[in-house]
Structure 1
Amino acid sequence: MQIFDYIVVGAGSSGCSLARGLCDNPDNNVLLLEAGPSANRFWVNTPAGMAKLYFNEKLNWNFHTTPMANLRDRQMYWPRGKLLGGSSSINGMVFIRGHQKDFDGWRNLGNPGWGYDDVLPYFKKMESFERGGDDYRGVSGPLWISDPVVKEQSSYDFIEAATRQGVPFTEDMNGALHDGVGFMQHNIRDGGRLSAYRAFIEPVIERKNLTVRTGCEVQRVLFKGHTAIGVEILRDGRRESIYAAREVIMSAGSLKTPQLLMLSGVGPSAELQKHAIPLVQDIPGVGQNLQDHFYIHTGFRCTPDSSYNANLTGVRKYWEGFRYLMTRKGYLALGSSQVAAFVKSRPEEDYADLQISFRPMTFQYFPDGTVAVEPEPGVGVSVYQLRPSTTGTVTLRSTNASDPADYTPNFLTNEYDINAVISGIRWIRKIMDSEPIKSRIVGEEVPGIGVQTDEEIYNYLVETGNSAHHQAGTCKMGNDPMAVVDERLRVRGLERLRVVDASIMPFVTSGNTNAPSIMIGVKAADMIIEDAVARQPLADNHQIKHA
């Protein structure tokens, strides 16, 4: 028998930080399972390689939503990382913790231990901030957090224009002041992407009590009664069973974790009955409460010195490539966006409910799925709503774990959400029409000056609105009837099974979700060690051994 103390399903942002914390205790024997391949690839480790990974067939799950009636039956593309590091190996590397009130809100919904004062020590524990430590920032963790290695003057001018519109400047949006405008930070070190895998697992990969396996697609959790005892995987076309003497931990992300739970007999009984899946535990909330940030993009033509498009196109892109290889600096060492502004869609909001992101470059997308930098000078500004009132669902399409589930986000079905995003477009225009950024703008390309009224802007949302790829909440933490896990992340009604990823968020955080997802893994490792259960007898000799 293949037996480990802990089986972690999914080597993404939460799974890697969790497995690291568990194996820091030499008494724990940890198995980390990943469906995809290794992450040791040039374009994965190069920040600018994100564009080449967006539609990658080998390193990306390439999910799509169901057709959405309110978006004219469009199916929205949802990329998710399928490799060591998960989505932290293909994303824009933006590091934003979220607003302090997000976590206090989690706590106030019946989750003691998840308020801001509770999670701040874990944010500090997991990071090394290049500017140094203080009451809010850590300096001794595995995850290096840095400022952009190149800061364009147009980014400074956007910040200045925003402050002239009443948005306060923040030196550190992960510190004392979240709501404001300032430069973003990224998990980039020495010009390279520092995914959760590279930060947390790669430095300890030789540990005898840690086993990492790629190409292992989990099919279901194995149960004995109401106790999780292991997982069934598909590897090289063969099914194998692997057993957990202590716990099985689902860290497959907000889209895969609820799917795998339902395929294991854990979820809404009606959904399982539709697919003739034997019921292990009726938990109505599995796959419910799907939240995401609805995203809308605007683009502007600008003066040549306001954009670095020219540096990444034509002959000059080869110089940038040479520069990067020699120095690990330059435009290839940058994350996806430079500046963020957190603003309110309306004055009565308790705290900012919109995130505006500015980047001094623009992309174009081709029908074959490739992405390239535009040759003409341009800057891109996007906005997404931070606290959507709409929720969606993850439901089963089939009983095959390799098939994607059905993802129904229900975007643009709520008037409050729609008005908030329309307000975001008006905020962008207000800032871009303010000096000093105004003098850099030649014209608004999208949505264009012909789109002015609320109805015209709404139509633009319907036609082009997208996802910020911040899916969360599908196995939410709480004590209400729809809660899937308790505040210790234990699946309700079952033994030795937890969920540790963004799906446990009661509501999505205010900003990019990679940082809080990593924090969830770091905090969960401490909780699991504190709650350590006795090893259950699974083998004849009752001994734990490496498989």
Structure 2
Amino acid sequence: MEIYDYIVVGAGSSGCVVASRLSEDPAVRVLLVEAGPDMNTFWVRTPAGGGKLFMDRRFNWAFDTEPVPTLGGRTVYWPRGKGLGGSSSINGMIYMRGQPGDFDHWAALGNPGWSWAEVLPYFVRSETNQRGANDYHGAQGPLHVSDAAITHPTADDFIAAAQQIGIRRSEDLNGPPHEGVAYRQYTIRNGRRHTSYNAFIEPVRHRGNLTVRTGVRVTRVALESGEATGIEVLERGERRMIAATREVILSGGALASPHLLMLSGIGDAAELRRHGIAATVESPGVGRNLQDHWFGSFAWRVTPGSSYNHRLRGLRKYLEGARYLLTRGGYLAIGAAPVTAYARSEPGRPEADLQLTVSPMTFKFDASGEPVVDDFPAIGGSMVLLTPDSRGHMALKSSDPLQAPAFHPNYLSDAGDIRRSIAGLRMMRRIAEAAPLASRIIHELVPGAPATTDEQLLAHLRTNGNSGWHQVGTCRMGVDERAVVDPRLRVHGVGRLRVVDASIMPRIVAGNTNAACIMIGEKGADMIRADAAPPRAVSI
């Protein structure tokens, strides 16, 4: 039997951090296991290649939700990264931490150590920011964070128009005042996507005490006498056990980690028994508290020169490709929508709850899943509700570990979410109608000028809205009976087992989730080292 001190399950945004930091101690043996493959391919490393990975099942779990009653029975596609780097290998590379109040709220719920002041050092430690070090940014961390490779006049005009309607200009959306309009930053290094794997594992993979294994499907956590003792895996068609003498750390993300707990007999006992799984630990919160961001889309036909669609079609797209290969620059070197505004849907809100974005290009997916840039000048936009009160859940469909669970996101089930989302759509239109952006717009394509009433805008949100692909919360951190892990991320009722990933968030952050997941990995690794238990004896 293979034996390690620590086994980390999932080489995604959090898991790569945990494995890297734990293996800094040469006295411990660390195994990092990942179900997917190596992801060192051209379109993964090329920032603009994200669209080509959106439905690529080699690198994407490509989940679908169950029909969502609040969306008229729609199913929603949920891409999730499958391979080294996890979803940091297929995302839009946006580096946005969330608002300070997010973390202060976590702490106020009974989670000491998770306030903004206490997590900020972990954000700083992980980062090398192109702008240099200050009180809010690092310059010596593994993860490279950079400014957009190209600015565009339309993006500049979006910033100016947002200011016209009262949204302040910001120089740094990850620093005070944490609200305003600005260009984003990205996890891009020298024109290439910088994933959690690239940042934290690739430079140290040579360590003799670190083993990284791909193509390994973990089927359950082995439990004995109330403790995690290892994992059962399926590799090349064979099942076998791998032992952990200190801890097993689940970092599979908000969809995989609760699934593994359920398969291991940790969850709602009645639900587990219904699928023939012996309930070892009653933990009714496993898979509950599911949260995600929901966005409403926009598109506008614009004047020539206000969009770069033409640069990514026909002969010009090959010229852009050559430009990227020669210089690591150009339009293939940029991440998702370059500018964003953080604003409040209502005057009484304690912090920004809307994310409003514009991109000077538009595309659609064809029948094969390939992104196709529109053949006319257009710009796209989105309105994201950052602090939804709607809550969903996930549940087993089968005891077969290879069958995906059932996902019930329950989008727009809260009346306040609907009200604030509609306010956000109206705010986005106000920006589009303000100078100087208005001079570029010919007419609104989506949702379209006829959609003016609350009912019509809600219909647009239900019919054309989409997931922000930021699922969190399904192994909630806390001290109450429905919390799954404690504030040190230890699974309630089980020794030597932790969850360290997006699933531990009590409430979703008001921003993109990748940076917060990396912070969770940093803080979780420190907790594991500080709490280090003596290794248990293993019989071979």
1:294 — aligned with what?
294
The separation in 1 between residues aligned to 2:210 and 2:242, in whole angstroms, is: 15
CA RMSD of aligned residues (A): 0.8
**Residue identity in the other structure for 2:236:** D
Deviations 1:350-384 (A, max 9, x none): 11111111111111122332222212111111011
CA positional deviation for 1:427:
0.8
1:506 — aligned with what?
506
Pair 1:375 & 2:355 matched: no
1:155 — aligned with what?
155
1:545 — aligned with what?
none
**Residue identity in the other structure for 1:265:** G
The separation in 1 between residues aligned to 2:247 and 2:372, in whole angstroms, is: 44
1:543 — aligned with what?
none
The answer on whether the counterparts of 1:295 and 1:467 sit within 8 Å (CA) in structure 2 is yes
Paired residues for 1:328-347 under 5 Å: 328-347=328-347
Deviations 1:491-545 (A, max 9, x none): 01110000000000000001110000011001111110010011010135xxxxx
Aligned length: 540
1:242 — aligned with what?
242
Paired residues for 1:241-260 under 5 Å: 241-260=241-260
The separation in 2 between residues aligned to 1:176 and 1:139, in whole angstroms, is: 18
1:39 — aligned with what?
39
The answer on whether the counterparts of 1:225 and 1:280 sit within 8 Å (CA) in structure 2 is no
2:435 — aligned with what?
435
Deviations 1:302-337 (A, max 9, x none): 112111111111110000000000000000000011
CA positional deviation for 1:277:
0.3
The separation in 1 between residues aligned to 2:539 and 2:144, in whole angstroms, is: 41
Q: What 5-or-longer segments of structure 2 have no aligned partner?
A: none
The answer on whether the counterparts of 1:97 and 1:174 sit within 8 Å (CA) in structure 2 is yes
Pair 1:325 & 2:320 matched: no
Q: Give SS of 1:418's match.
A: helix
1:533 — aligned with what?
533
Q: Give SS of 2:262's match.
A: helix
Pair 1:218 & 2:222 matched: no
CA positional deviation for 1:135:
0.7
1:309 — aligned with what?
309
Pair 1:494 & 2:458 matched: no
Q: Give SS of 1:254's match.
A: coil
CA positional deviation for 1:219:
0.3
**Residue identity in the other structure for 2:6:** Y
CA positional deviation for 1:400:
1.3
2:413 — aligned with what?
413
The separation in 1 between residues aligned to 2:307 and 2:402, in whole angstroms, is: 42
The separation in 2 between residues aligned to 1:434 and 1:384, in whole angstroms, is: 20
1:7 — aligned with what?
7
The separation in 1 between residues aligned to 2:219 and 2:296, in whole angstroms, is: 35
Deviations 1:439-496 (A, max 9, x none): 0111100000010000011111111111000000000101112110011000011100
The separation in 1 between residues aligned to 2:276 and 2:69, in whole angstroms, is: 29
The separation in 2 between residues aligned to 1:364 and 1:118, in whole angstroms, is: 42
The separation in 1 between residues aligned to 2:377 and 2:192, in whole angstroms, is: 26
The answer on whether the counterparts of 1:51 and 1:372 sit within 8 Å (CA) in structure 2 is no
The separation in 1 between residues aligned to 2:78 and 2:304, in whole angstroms, is: 33
Percent of pairs with identical residues: 51
CA positional deviation for 1:178:
1.2
**Residue identity in the other structure for 1:533:** A
Deviations 1:181-235 (A, max 9, x none): 1011000011000000001000001100100000001100001121000001111
1:78 — aligned with what?
78
**Residue identity in the other structure for 1:454:** D
CA positional deviation for 1:279:
1.1
Pair 1:231 & 2:227 matched: no
Q: Give SS of 2:156's match.
A: helix
CA positional deviation for 1:80:
0.1
Paired residues for 1:34-113 under 5 Å: 34-113=34-113
The separation in 2 between residues aligned to 1:485 and 1:396, in whole angstroms, is: 20
The separation in 1 between residues aligned to 2:369 and 2:225, in whole angstroms, is: 46
CA positional deviation for 1:69:
1.4
**Residue identity in the other structure for 1:180:** G
CA positional deviation for 1:82:
0.4
**Residue identity in the other structure for 2:28:** N
The separation in 1 between residues aligned to 2:2 and 2:377, in whole angstroms, is: 57
2:424 — aligned with what?
424
1:137 — aligned with what?
137
TM-score (norm: length of structure 2): 0.99
The separation in 1 between residues aligned to 2:445 and 2:7, in whole angstroms, is: 50
CA positional deviation for 1:402:
1.4
The separation in 2 between residues aligned to 1:466 and 1:290, in whole angstroms, is: 16
CA positional deviation for 1:31:
0.4
The separation in 2 between residues aligned to 1:523 and 1:491, in whole angstroms, is: 16
1:544 — aligned with what?
none
Please say which of residues 93-102 and 374-383 is displaced more in the overlay: 374-383
Pair 1:277 & 2:265 matched: no
**Residue identity in the other structure for 2:403:** D
The separation in 2 between residues aligned to 1:476 and 1:363, in whole angstroms, is: 36
**Residue identity in the other structure for 1:458:** L
Q: Give SS of 2:207's match.
A: coil
The separation in 2 between residues aligned to 1:490 and 1:190, in whole angstroms, is: 38
CA positional deviation for 1:24:
1.1
The separation in 2 between residues aligned to 1:65 and 1:321, in whole angstroms, is: 35
Q: Give SS of 2:314's match.
A: coil
Deviations 1:424-445 (A, max 9, x none): 1101100000001110111100
Please say which of residues 22-31 and 108-117 is displaced more in the overlay: 22-31
2:480 — aligned with what?
480
The answer on whether the counterparts of 1:361 and 1:380 sit within 8 Å (CA) in structure 2 is yes
Pair 1:447 & 2:447 matched: yes
The separation in 2 between residues aligned to 1:31 and 1:130, in whole angstroms, is: 32
The separation in 1 between residues aligned to 2:363 and 2:111, in whole angstroms, is: 41
The separation in 1 between residues aligned to 2:378 and 2:24, in whole angstroms, is: 47
The separation in 2 between residues aligned to 1:539 and 1:27, in whole angstroms, is: 20
**Residue identity in the other structure for 1:292:** D
**Residue identity in the other structure for 1:394:** M
The answer on whether the counterparts of 1:221 and 1:231 sit within 8 Å (CA) in structure 2 is yes
CA positional deviation for 1:99:
0.2
The separation in 1 between residues aligned to 2:56 and 2:259, in whole angstroms, is: 22
**Residue identity in the other structure for 1:367:** A
CA positional deviation for 1:72:
1.6
The separation in 2 between residues aligned to 1:256 and 1:520, in whole angstroms, is: 16
The separation in 2 between residues aligned to 1:18 and 1:378, in whole angstroms, is: 42
2:365 — aligned with what?
365
The answer on whether the counterparts of 1:147 and 1:186 sit within 8 Å (CA) in structure 2 is yes
